[in-house]
Amino acid sequence: MGWLREVTAVVVAIDSPAGQVVEAIEQLSAHLPAPDQPAVCPLCLQQTWPCDGFDAAARHIQAAGMPIGFLVPLDLHPTLWPTP
């Protein structure tokens, strides 16, 4: 595997909820770790994942009323929301 996850582009209306936070979605996606290195951010090599860049983007998206779970690969969900 490489340092980045595969991504896809999606077109959304700029006045939609996703369109209003498109830059934060791009930042969140950029900070996703590679599948074979789930604890390493490809941009913040000195930080474990979830890194500050991911956290800032996620908070911005959530503040706009959008859940980030739909934007994060399922294999990373346990890291974000560990079971007690």
pTM: 0.88
Q: In the chain, which residue ranges form alpha helices assigned H by DSSP? A: 17-20, 22-30, 52-63, 77-80
- If the chain, 84 residues long, is cut into consecutive pieces of 10 residues, what is the mean pLDDT of each piece? 77 94 96 91 90 97 95 94 76
Q: Which pLDDT score is estimated for 52? A: 96
Closest CA to 57 of 33, 81, 21, 82: 21
Q: Which pLDDT score is estimated for 3? A: 66
Q: Which pLDDT score is estimated for 1? A: 46
